[in-house]
Amino acid sequence: MEVIAKKKETKVTKCGVFGTYSHKGGTLLAVVELLSETDFVAKNTKFKELAQDLAVQVLFSSEIKYISEDFIPEQEKSLYIEADLNKILLLRQPFYKNENFTISSLINQHSATFGEKLQVANIYKFEIK
């Protein structure tokens, strides 16, 4: 699956959905923008479920700050050691439903299933105190 995912890196993701999850009576909210190459995949139930699962992951993984290394500002990169990166990067997190998968491998698996590049474009977390 890694080979398939590598071939898809140059593809453009222009369609997608927002996966959302709220908790504690709506006072906690996570939003994940998950993109695909076509609206055919973006409208797929499994794709929408993946976006929802990613939103749950973001909400309950309190240390997530970035999607991947590419999103860390250059001036901050030297501040983190490898163990820190595993905690603060969404794509390196173990998937909450099956810790044998990282989020990156989960996305690659879905990408192979759909035959399209999938990309997490943005993550947001909100809390009303």
pLDDT-flagged residues of the chain (< 70): 1-10
CA distances to 6, 8, 37, 101, 104 from 3, rounded to whole Å, are 5, 9, 18, 17, 14
Q: Return the pLDDT at 13.
A: 87
**Amino acid identity of 65?**
K
- In tens, the pLDDT along 85-110 reads 999 999 999 999 999 999 999 999 99
Query: What pTM was estimated for this model as a whole?
Result: 0.88
Q: Return the pLDDT at 26.
A: 87
At residue 76, the 3 state secondary structure works out as helix
CA distances to 10, 33, 52, 85, 86 from 48, rounded to whole Å, are 23, 11, 6, 27, 25
Domain annotation for the chain: domains and CATH numbers: 2-127 (3.30.479.20)
